[in-house]
Structure 1
Amino acid sequence: MFDLPVKTKKETTEANRFRNLLLDMGFSRSQFSVYVQYLPLASRAHVLVKQIKSNLPEGGDIRIVSISDYEWSNAIRFTNKKDAPPDEQPTQLLIF
């Protein structure tokens, strides 16, 4: 999960570059500033965190949370005020 400054054209360009980098790294967009990736091997998380940290735009704020497949599968989700079907149950998920 992240917040990036987008008050200037340069900041907006950097924010878009960062979002595209996350997609290139295998993340999927869950919400505008929330990206997720299934990681069956938690050891890969260290490499991703290092790469994310080194590419964070100036003034950006990041929070990385790992949750289990059980926690992810029990998340309650609504779409247009209606219950949304649960996602497939992964072994481990990294939310960013």
Structure 2
Amino acid sequence: MTSGPVRQIPWGWRSMWVIAMFDLPTDTAKARKAYARFRKALLRDGFTMMQYSVYIRHCASIENAKIHVTRIGHCVPSAGEVRFLTITDKQFGRIETYVGKMRQTAPAPPAQLEFF
């Protein structure tokens, strides 16, 4: 008895992480206000701070991740630079964190489910 071809899970069903990394000027009052608006947009969109100027967001799929990158991309101030990195949940799980010379374990992925 032979079985049919192995069915692959489509790429769109993979859990993803979006990492936003930015350098924004804060040398003037206007620049600080633009920085604060951008940071608040990240937080409203579900991003959390991983470290200074690095925010992360869990997404259910690559399509969902693209939506969030586009949304936040429209909020980027005219001065400064923002980069978005999208990685799979498995890749995110391989992050190694060192504080000083001591290795820290990676934070557990969120226990919540997202419904769209």
TM-score, structure 1 normalization: 0.82
| Residues 18, 56 of structure 1: 8 Å contact kept | yes
Tell me the equivalent position of 1:70: 90
Q: Kindly state the Cα deviation for residue 49 of structure 1 after the two structures are TM-superposed.
A: 1.9
Correspondence for 2:26: 6
Output the amino acid matched with 2:38: F
What aligned pairs does 1:1-96 form with structure 2 within 5 A after superposition? Answer: 1-89=21-109
Q: Which amino acid aligns with 2:69?
A: V
With the length of structure 2 as denominator, give the TM-score of the two structures: 0.69
| 1:89 CA displacement | 4.6
In structure 2, runs of 5+ residues without a counterpart are 1-20, 111-116
Query: Could you say if the C-alpha distance between residues 89 and 51 of structure 1 is closer, same or farther in structure 2, counting changes exceeding 3 Å?
Result: closer
Q: 2: CA distance between counterparts of 1:4 and 1:15?
A: 6
| Percent of residue pairs bearing the same amino acid type | 31
Letter in 2 for 1:21: A
Alpha-carbon distance in 1 for matches of 2:89, 2:66: 19
Moved more, 38-47 or 2-11: 38-47
Number of residue equivalences: 90
**Structure holding more helix per residue:** 1
Q: Deviations over 1:16-67 (max 9, x none)?
A: 1110110110000001110000111221122212221211111121111111
The answer on whether the counterparts of 2:23 and 2:82 sit within 8 Å (CA) in structure 1 is yes
Structure 1: runs of 5 or more not aligned? 91-96
